[in-house]
Amino acid sequence: MELKNQFSSYVERMRKVRLLSAPSCDDIKRAEDYSRLLLENFQKIGEYAVENRKMLDEILFPLLMMERPLTDEEVERLEELSRELVDGETSTEIDLHLSELISECLYQEEEYRMETQPAKEGDVKERINTLQRRLDIAYARLYYVGRSNPKEWEKLLGDGLVYYDEAIGYLEVDVFTALPQEQRDDVIMLAINGTAMFNTLPYDSDETNRRRATEQKVRLDMVKSLLDDPAYEDLITKEARRKANLFIQLYLAAFSYLDGLSQELYEEACHNALAVEKEWLADPEYVEQSMFLHAMWDLLLFATFRVDSPELPRILQKCIELYENRDTSDYSYKGIPMNLGMGNTLFFVFSQIMKKDPGRLSEAMESLLYWIPGNNMKYLFKAPKKESLGLYINGLTSFLEHFDELPGGTRLRNYCVQSMAAIHPPTYIHSRMVAKLSVCMTRHLLSANPAVFVGYPGCNSIEDVRENVSKILDYTWHAALYHDIGKLYVLDTIAMYGRGLLDSEYVLLRSHPDKGAHLASRFESTKRYVDVIRGHHRFYDCSQGYPAEFDTSKSPYKVIIDIVCVADCLDAATDSVGRSYRNGKTLEEFKGELQAGAGTRYAPYVAELFEDPATLEDLKFLLQNGRKRLYEDTYYQLKDIVEN
């Protein structure tokens, strides 16, 4: 019972942490109360963190690393905790990565028991349930990692396929025949649903997408052939066969979400999507047991668009109708995809049509196209920050991958900054603070040592530098403001307050400079800031930091990279509110670290600035007053959007 209470208390504290880190503005009447409330909340988070780390370090982690076999009660408690931390069916999560560690321990325990203990009645059922759980977690992690780190994704897919292949083993006719009917049905669906792992990184290269779609199709075709095999005719119930065929059609139709596939695969996707609609027309209640209605129309829209089907106008009109009649106050598991997913798909389809044949868009369609980014943002600003944070991030990043800068429309850079403010105000305020600190240091460095800017684009001499001061300051502001846009893909990792980050989470977090640079490189409004976005976590001498392969010394923006690097570390070190829920360091303490790292981690010419009394006075003012003002500005921004 003690173990159960400890685990339940951890889950409850982590639920509270998510709410505390992003409080609602509804009951806050004054701007100064917003920063005060956040400070109080993060102090409370710090208290929870102490309790959580104690539980993890003294109870959970030792249990997971125990050399002896686990008791039945320990296994039961760990299974309960893992289920509470992640719900694979609804894609909601409290602590996905911790759940994965627990699941790995339980899997090893089960392997040990299978090897050392005689088989018991019900073991097969438990094994299949375990595989289902493993594949649920694999899918959740793949979707999570797929946003930010393709290299890590490949590794995780390999891990997931180990469990998938084991599940497939139960389909061997002799093994399948020996299973109880319920387990036969479960294994059939495992073999189908497990293939969804291949479709969790839809924004990769065309060649890779084609390969993965082909691999998924091979597995789906295998199950389809089994359903049609006379040897299995009496082994699969009519109801299970019907459900299996429906899900095969759905997964084949989902190929339409992938870019760069062959026309043949897109035609097959469209054929299957229309087959699902036909099934729905015949029996709406049955189909809606397996998927939300708006998800079917979203799939149909992608599928018919990919092949420019004659059905596209009809499907498009239905999707517009659904979107315009959506409930914008619905933040449920059903409501989030309706509000974000359908809007994302309409934006993608409309913008692609506008590029190729703008005459096909009616005035109403074009108007809706321009409204969708604002609709998304307003929805995100008002969203309650609960366990569904991952769903918000999925919707946001999907939109970023499909984003286009329309003439007279929203620019990517503005959308990214607003998204930070909407989903995670501390990251937004950090970006603003880094911009202020960077401009302050750049201004003083331009005055004290303009020679270091020679080599900056358009500056071949000190005279050029002096003539371009305003341009250099403007570039510095924007480059620093956008330096963390890659964090939009990992905000739910950043928001994992209440415990230390796990190694797997650090891997994801370190992907944000590359991910941000890739995103920024696609658009004119952000392309020139790519080097700063990619390089702001590299050491001055390139001996350490990430991404390791980026040599900042070859960048014409090297001096700005070095300044933003210092500003980033300075804000993180001194912030006691939204970054660390601990007492921030003083400016003098940071100055000591800066000087100790001058020449390696930090640029010597930036470290020298901290010897200048005027620079220190300006930085001190920003740290003491600038952050407070930013929290107040954020409050007004949030309040204005929520109320209007």
Task: Give the C-alpha separation, 519 to 413, whole Å.
Answer: 10
Cβ–Cβ under 8 Å, residues 523 and 405: yes
pLDDT, tens digit, for every residue of 475-507? Answer: 999 999 999 999 999 988 887 888 888 888 888
Q: Which DSSP string do the residues of 383-437 spell out, in sequence order?
A: ---STTHHHHHHHHHHHHHH----TTS--HHHHHHHHHHHH-HHHHHHHHHHHHH
> Within this chain, do residues 394 and 446 fall inside the same structural domain, yes or no?
no
Lowest-confidence pick of 89-93, 202-206, 618-622: 89-93
Give a yes or no: residue 295 inside a domain. no
pLDDT of residue 358: 84
Q: Which of 410, 436, 459 is the last residue of a domain?
A: 410
Mean pLDDT, residues 408-422 taken together: 91
Q: Could you tell me what percent of the chain has a pLDDT over 70?
A: 96
Mean pLDDT, residues 216-232 taken together: 95
**279 contacts: CB under 8 Å, gap ≥ 6:** 246, 249, 286, 287
Confidence of residue 641 (pLDDT cuts 50, 70, 90): low
472 φ, ψ (degrees, to nearest 5): -65, -40
What value does the mean pLDDT of the chain take? Answer: 90
pLDDT of residue 56: 94
pLDDT of residue 390: 81
87 φ, ψ (degrees, to nearest 5): -115, 100
> Within this chain, do residues 493 and 401 fall inside the same structural domain, yes or no?
no
Q: What CATH code is carried by the domain that includes residue 629?
A: 1.10.3210.10
> Within this chain, do residues 533 and 424 fall inside the same structural domain, yes or no?
yes
> Within this chain, do residues 472 and 588 fall inside the same structural domain, yes or no?
yes
> Within this chain, do residues 371 and 443 fall inside the same structural domain, yes or no?
no
Lowest-confidence pick of 101-110, 322-331, 599-608: 101-110
The boundaries of the domain holding residue 533 are 415-643
Give a yes or no: residue 604 inside a domain. yes
Give a yes or no: residue 111 inside a domain. no
Number of domains the chain contains:
2
pLDDT of residue 130: 83
pLDDT of residue 282: 95
> Within this chain, do residues 377 and 440 fall inside the same structural domain, yes or no?
no
Cβ–Cβ under 8 Å, residues 279 and 286: yes
Radius of gyration, CA atoms only, the chain: 27
Tell whether the model's pLDDT for residue 351 goes beyond 80: yes
Q: Which of 410, 429, 445 is the last residue of a domain?
A: 410
> Within this chain, do residues 348 and 438 fall inside the same structural domain, yes or no?
no
Cβ–Cβ under 8 Å, residues 182 and 190: no
> Within this chain, do residues 472 and 595 fall inside the same structural domain, yes or no?
yes
Give a yes or no: residue 230 inside a domain. no
Mean pLDDT, residues 542-566 taken together: 96
HSE (side-chain half, CA atoms, 13 Å) at 206: 5
Q: Could you tell me what percent of the chain has a pLDDT over 90?
A: 62
pLDDT, tens digit, for every residue of 139-188? Answer: 888 888 888 788 788 888 998 999 999 999 999 999 999 999 999 999 99
Q: Which of 410, 425, 459 is the last residue of a domain?
A: 410
> Within this chain, do residues 589 and 440 fall inside the same structural domain, yes or no?
yes
Give a yes or no: residue 404 inside a domain. yes
pLDDT of residue 67: 84
Mean pLDDT, residues 535-562 taken together: 96
Give a yes or no: residue 278 inside a domain. no
Q: 211-224: buried (b, 16+ CB within 10 Å) or exposed (e) per residue?
A: ebbeebbebbeebb
Tell whether the model's pLDDT for residue 89 goes beyond 70: no
Q: Find how far residue 362's CA is from the centre of its chain.
A: 34
pLDDT of residue 304: 98
Q: How many residues does the chain have?
A: 644
pLDDT of residue 466: 96
Cβ–Cβ under 8 Å, residues 441 and 567: yes
Confidence of residue 119 (pLDDT cuts 50, 70, 90): low
> Within this chain, do residues 434 and 532 fall inside the same structural domain, yes or no?
yes
> Within this chain, do residues 391 and 534 fall inside the same structural domain, yes or no?
no
Dihedral angle sign, alpha carbons of residues 340, 341, 343, 348: positive
pLDDT of residue 122: 60
pLDDT of residue 143: 83
Mean pLDDT, residues 389-413 taken together: 90
> Within this chain, do residues 441 and 491 fall inside the same structural domain, yes or no?
yes
The dihedral formed by the CA atoms of 75, 492, 532 and 627, expressed in degrees to the nearest 10: -120
pLDDT of residue 580: 46
pLDDT of residue 492: 84
Give a yes or no: residue 549 inside a domain. yes
Give a yes or no: residue 461 inside a domain. yes
pLDDT of residue 412: 94
**Rounded (10°) angle between helices 627-643 and 412-423:** 90
pLDDT of residue 121: 56
